């Protein structure tokens, strides 16, 4: 039983006294206690040690009182499990020494056994659930197949993922083979996380907005829809496509329980485009957490008024930035808790 189930109620579209609040990337970025652990253990050690992953996951719940936990891990553990080497370089971010560029590279990518390759994530889920003791729900996540392809082919972060796009547009057959392998792995992975205990899952399509609406359908949405179809009867699914407001109509018909929205789309327009019924999550500009706590409070209250308090999950429009002062993140959460309808 979950004591604070506001987040699950919002996912089911039930009426709530106030909307739930959490922040994307809340578990591994801005808290001083996280930075201490970051200085002691390298990134994948933190991911692979269930005790550390659990400790980091609980920090924002205990320290700023968010209504949901998100497991500390990374979207790039999937390509790692698929036989694609991924390193995390301090100051640079993801670095893949042997990016996927040819048909042969795609052939060498495997659809792995999840227990064998990602058992450490499942252990972290179980340990976190135990320590949460039903306080708040736990969110599991994965990257969208397109967003994973972006890193697998580009080999690192990028402003436009030009090499990844070139690969898709010059060798679509190989691209689709790779996307399907990532999709199959992701479905098995998210299923295993649900069995291990997560209460909902979120698919991060961080680079979906790099594609035109037509290409989005072909190279991204089609695969996210497969993931939703496979999971929706087992757990609520949240689909977050950064820069993907143009797809909200189609997304709203997908069987997802909620859709993430970024700050380039107004709450009213997001409601309009998504048909007015589905739960929405977002969408404050993460950089707005640099504003004063008093301004943050006003912006949060406006945002809830515009989205409406029901079928709404308060969040940022993308991940929290690493140098946000803790008191500003606290103001964001407290503003939601202090919300009362006019
Ligand atoms: O709340 C959380 O932060 C939970 C854990 C989490 C991480 N990554 C930990 C992490 C989650 C949910 C992610 C998702 C993720 N990872 C996404 C999708 C969301 C988004 O922000 O768009 C993407 C695109 C990645 C890939 C990735 N991992 C990048 C681009 C980087 C480098 C830059 C950075 O800090 O985000 C990472 C590394 C990473 N993942 C770190 C953390 C805490 C920082 C490295 C470190 O701590 O040593």
Cross-strand bridge partners of residue 283: 315
pLDDT at residue 341 is higher than 90: no
What integer is the mean pLDDT of 46-68? Answer: 98
CB of 70 closer than 6 A to ligand 1? yes
Instruction: Write the residue with the smallest CA distance to atom 37 of ligand 1.
Output: 93
Q: What is the pLDDT of residue 342?
A: 66
CB of 73 closer than 6 A to ligand 1? yes
- What's 298-332 look like in SS3? HHHHHHHHHHCCCCEEEEECCCCCCCCCHHHHHHH
Cα–Cα distance, 325 to 140 (Å, whole number) = 26
What integer is the mean pLDDT of 40-59? Answer: 97
pLDDT at residue 8 is higher than 70: yes
What percent of the chain clears pLDDT 90, i.e. is strictly above it? 98
Q: What is the pLDDT of residue 28?
A: 87
Mean pLDDT of the chain: 97
List, by residue number, the catalytic residues: 25, 29, 38, 74, 151
Cα–Cα distance, 272 to 287 (Å, whole number) = 25
pLDDT at residue 60 is higher than 80: yes
Q: What is the pLDDT of residue 204?
A: 98
Cα–Cα distance, 41 to 142 (Å, whole number) = 23
Instruction: Write the residue with the smallest CA distance to atom 21 of ligand 1.
Output: 319
Cα–Cα distance, 208 to 285 (Å, whole number) = 18
Tokens matching residue 217? 């359908």
Check if the beta carbon of residue 289 is closer than 8 Å to that of residue 296.
yes
Cα–Cα distance, 292 to 298 (Å, whole number) = 10
CB of 43 closer than 6 A to ligand 1? yes
Pairing of strands 279-284, 258-260: parallel
Cα–Cα distance, 9 to 31 (Å, whole number) = 28
Cβ contacts of 45 within 8 Å, gap of 6 or more: 52
Tokens matching residue 45? 């050690």
User: Closest Cα to residue 283, out of 268, 252, 261, 305?
Assistant: 261
The CA-atom distances, in angstroms, between 269 and each of 203, 249, 262, 272, 274 are 22, 11, 12, 5, 8
| Rg over CA atoms, the chain | 19
CB of 75 closer than 6 A to ligand 1? yes
- Residue that has been written with the tokens 């890193």 in this structure: 151
Q: How far is the CA of 257 from the centre of ligand 1 (A)?
A: 24
Q: How far is the CA of 275 from the centre of ligand 1 (A)?
A: 31
> pLDDT, tens digit, for every residue of 273-332?
999 999 999 999 999 999 999 999 999 999 999 999 999 999 999 999 999 999 999 999
Q: How far is the CA of 74 from the centre of ligand 1 (A)?
A: 6
Check if the beta carbon of residue 281 is closer than 8 Å to that of residue 315.
yes
- Residue that has been written with the tokens 């380039």 in this structure: 264
Pairing of strands 200-205, 87-89: unpaired
**Angle subtended by helix axes 114-132 and 50-64, to nearest 10:** 40
Tally of CB atoms within 10 A around 38: 16
Cα–Cα distance, 136 to 101 (Å, whole number) = 43
**Closest approach atom of ligand 1 to CA 204:** 18
Q: Helix, strand, or coil here: 29?
A: coil
Task: Please provide the distance, in angstroms rounded to a whole number, between the alpha carbons at the two ends of the chain.
Answer: 32
What integer is the mean pLDDT of 101-105? Answer: 98
CB of 141 closer than 6 A to ligand 1? yes
């Amino acid at each position: 039983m979950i004591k604070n189930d506001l987040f699950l109620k919002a996912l089911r579209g039930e009426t709530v006294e106030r909307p739930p609040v959490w922040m994307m990337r809340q578990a591994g970025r801005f808290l001083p206690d996280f930075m201490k652990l970051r200085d002691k253990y390298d990134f994948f050690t933190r991911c692979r040690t269930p005790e550390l992953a659990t400790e980091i996951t609980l920090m924002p719940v205990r320290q700023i009182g968010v209504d949901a936990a998100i497991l500390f891990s990374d979207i790039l553990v999937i390509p790692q499990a698929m036989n694609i080497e991924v390193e995390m370089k301090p100051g640079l971010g993801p670095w893949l020494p042997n990016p996927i560029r040819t048909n042969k590279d795609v052939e060498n990518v495997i659809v792995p056994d999840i227990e064998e390759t990602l058992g450490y994530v499942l252990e972290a889920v179980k340990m976190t659930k135990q320590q949460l003791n039903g306080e708040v729900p736990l969110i599991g996540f994965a990257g969208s197949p397109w967003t994973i392809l972006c890193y697998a082919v580009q080999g690192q972060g990028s402003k436009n993922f030009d090499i990844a796009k070139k690969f898709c547009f010059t060798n679509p057959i190989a691209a689709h083979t790779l996307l399907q392998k990532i999709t199959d792995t992701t479905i098995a992975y998210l299923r295993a996380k649900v069995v291990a205990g997560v209460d909902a899952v979120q698919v991060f399509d961080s680079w979906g907005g790099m594609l035109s609406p037509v290409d989005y359908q072909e190279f991204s949405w089609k695969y996210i829809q497969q993931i939703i179809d496979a999971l929706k009867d087992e757990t609520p699914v949240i689909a977050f496509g950064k820069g993907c407001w143009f797809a909200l109509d189609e997304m709203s018909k997908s069987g997802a329980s909620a859709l993430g929205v970024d700050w380039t789309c107004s709450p009213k327009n997001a409601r309009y485009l998504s048909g007015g019924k589905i739960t929405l999550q977002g969408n404050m500009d993460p950089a707005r957490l640099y504003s004063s706590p008093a301004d943050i409070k006003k912006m949060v209250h406006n945002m809830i008024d515009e989205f409406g308090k029901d079928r709404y999950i308060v969040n940022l429009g993308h991940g929290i930035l690493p140098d946000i002062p803790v008191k500003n993140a606290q103001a964001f959460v407290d503003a939601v808790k202090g919300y009362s309808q006019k």
